[in-house]
Amino acid sequence: MMRYSVLLTALLAMTASMEARSQPSLRADADGTQTGSATNAASMDSARDIVLAVANPISPPATHAGSSLIGYAPAAAYGAGQRAISTLAALQRRYGWRELTGWPIKSLDLYCIVLEPAEGTSRDALLKSLAGDDRVQLAEPLHEYSVYSDRAAPPRRYNDPYVTLQRGFVETDAALAQTLSMGKGVEVAVIDTGVDTRHPDLQGRIGAVQNLVDDSASAFNRDHHGTEVAGIIAAVDDNHRGIVGMAPGATLDIYKACWYPPQPHAGARCNSLTLAKALAAVLDTDARIVNLSLGGPADPLLSRLLQRVLGAGRIVVAAMPPGATLDGFPDGVPGVIVVRSSGSGAAPAGVLSAPGVDILTTQPDGGYDFSSGSSMAAAHVSGIAALLLSVAPKLDARGLHDLLAHSSRTSDGTLQVNAAAAVETAGGMARLAH
């Protein structure tokens, strides 16, 4: 009886010893997570280290009375079995590597380690030797992988000298948005004053041009307001000149419906006739976006035309009028996306906020200067809309408005539209749709 008791004690001790050897040493990190005590994964070298696997058969515990005592080892003790331990010890003596970490793969009956070849040993030579060793189930280089995240891409860099001075471009993260979309293939109708079509930063960006005010080509090219709006939306990128537009891949159709009175410093004016002619002309095109950086009283004719434009699936972006009273044209027409210049106070319900103060943009005669107002804010949103439609062409006006609202970010204490967040969201939506 005494001899049986001694034997039992010895066998239990041996079992405990084997269990301890079979389990990777674990420690608790500060957050309570248990991790292997071996080398941290981030410190492993994919240019040096090797993954090696050996057979690791584990027999299930026997259930009949004649079983050995070792057979009663608990299932939780699964790790490196005696065969794997012996094989790895023999291989290590033969090849002299340093083991960094090890773990069992129960579903494959394997035990894997990551090893560092002995100093002076070529990894390729060691891999070749291990491949020819019948004790080895698998030997391969430690590979590295990358997550596929569009946001991981760095913002685009430009050779345009004034890009860092473009407050709106910088604050809306447009350079990051343009790693995903440039607005290519999107047509934007700009109903405004004329535009300097000869401006170097607008070359190749202008499609159709209509003067609905007069026949003066020189006055058309001297107009400031339309030139400013056009530059914000689609100024050419990487041409070693001036600025970068929010959507430099988009095409602008210019409809001159407004003009400057002869009085000095007077603001541009439009009327029901010229605006009606412009809206009717847009209906005959494929333009998806209409920028109306203007406003005035409600007008039944213009409202009917604008409703027809909206009903045709066009996205209309308008500037919020001074005083924030939204009952005129075009701001009072349901479905129009109204944009204000970002300010310290909260925006009226449904109104988007965009940069509109001290915005550097194009000017007639090939120049550049700063301009302010909700007209500039609306132009930023029209540019972002072009970026969005380029990656998600099925977006409608309501969906685009809500996307811009929900993806707005706080910049310098102000909540305003963010091109990068909006384009990333739209891209994800488009991928899910497919």
Assess whether 375 carries a catalytic annotation.
yes
- Among 224, 225, 380, 401, the active-site one is 225
Assess whether 192 carries a catalytic annotation.
yes
pLDDT tens-place values along the chain, 434 residues long = 443 343 333 433 433 333 333 333 333 333 333 333 345 676 788 889 999 999 998 765 444 444 333 333 333 334 788 999 999 999 999 999 999 988 888 878 899 999 999 999 999 999 999 999 999 999 999 886 544 333 446 788 999 999 999 999 999 999 999 999 999 999 999 999 999 999 999 999 999 999 999 999 999 999 999 999 999 999 999 999 999 999 999 999 999 999 888 887 778 889 999 999 999 999 999 999 999 999 999 999 999 999 999 999 999 999 998 888 899 999 999 999 999 999 867 889 999 999 999 999 999 999 999 999 999 999 999 999 999 999 999 999 999 999 999 999 988 788 999 999 999 998 876 665 55
Structure confidence at residue 235 (pLDDT): 98
- Among 22, 371, 374, 375, the active-site one is 375
pTM of the model: 0.67
Structural domain spans, the chain: 43-145, 155-433
- Among 173, 192, 201, 253, the active-site one is 192
Could you tell me how many residues make up the chain? 434
Residue 348's SS3 state is coil
Phi and psi (nearest 5°) for 95?
Answer: -110, -15
Assess whether 225 carries a catalytic annotation.
yes
Cβ-count burial 282-315 (b if 16+ within 10 Å, e if not): beeeebbbbbbbbbbeebeebbebbeebbeeebb
Nearest CA to 385 out of 352, 363, 431, 432 is that of: 352
43-145 is a CATH 3.30.70 domain: yes
Beta-bridge partners for 338: 318
CATH of 155-433, one of 3.20.19.10, 3.40.50.300, 3.10.129.10, 3.40.50.200: 3.40.50.200
